[in-house]
Structure 1
């Protein structure tokens, strides 16, 4: 198993960050077949595989805003207004995903990208752990 820690800055607003190229570069370094595990060690962010750049990312943020409004209904209260909803995000957008790798290439569909989803405007510094798991032989 090989691992790499990515340090990202997501800014001061809700964001979806495309990390596909970073994932692609990481698995290409060693080549081979296996699984790429993408893990976000944060209680207020998640990772997903989806189409990006055609409005889907904005649609996802709008959907999360509709489902989980940033208001004062949340019991978890600290930080900016409505921050408690950020702690619910990983229940909907998981903290990890797996991508098959064949011959050192991500086996994503034509329009699929790997994305970090971060709605927490209080903490723009994020880490993503990439782990390339290969068979023993």
Structure 2
């Protein structure tokens, strides 16, 4: 059994879904594992991770619109230390995930045909998001 880990940084320019499947696939391929499990962890409380449709841009737009309606920017929140998008960003992150587990089979991530790995930025301002990758296997 072997292990490998790294961190990648994703620059964001505001709210939305940013696919980074290619970066993850490239790193996994460099590790030369045959079977295993990849854990991806977002090291933030106002951004999250999703595995989602990567073929139709409308699916991403609909998700973004849904979450902005579900947790809208508003003056109804007590927590607004960093502005009106602060608490809505935490709510959106709480409703999604900050960690993903993806099996590795025959040297490749076992993602479906139309699945991509996304960072879901929930804040208005640009950020540099740190994502930890950990692979365990053979």
The normalised TM-score by structure 1 is: 0.91
Check the 8 A contact 2:85/2:124 in 1, yes or no: no
User: Runs of 5+ in structure 1 lacking a partner?
Assistant: none
Give how far 1:103 is off: 2.2
Give how far 1:123 is off: 5.0
1:22 paired residue number: 23
Check the 8 A contact 1:74/1:82 in 2, yes or no: no
- Structure 1 CA distance, aligned partners of 2:127 and 2:94? 20
1:77 paired residue number: 80
Structure 1 stretches of at least 4 aligned residues deviating more than 2 Å after TM superposition: none
**In angstroms, what is the RMSD of aligned CA positions?**
1.3
1:9 paired residue number: 11
Give how far 1:4 is off: 1.0
Check the 8 A contact 1:41/1:128 in 2, yes or no: yes
2:114 paired residue number: 111
Of residues 20-29 and 52-61 in structure 1, the stretch that sits farther from structure 2 once superposed is 52-61
- Structure 2 CA distance, aligned partners of 1:76 and 1:86? 11
Give how far 1:60 is off: 0.8
User: Runs of 5+ in structure 2 lacking a partner?
Assistant: none
- Structure 1 CA distance, aligned partners of 2:126 and 2:92? 15
Mapping for residues 40-119 of structure 1, pairs under 5 Å: 40-54=42-56, 55-119=58-122
- The alignment of Structure 1 onto Structure 2 pairs a total of residues equal to 134
Check the 8 A contact 2:43/2:131 in 1, yes or no: yes
Question: Which structure has the highest strand share of the two?
Answer: 2
- Structure 2 CA distance, aligned partners of 1:74 and 1:123? 22
The normalised TM-score by structure 2 is: 0.90
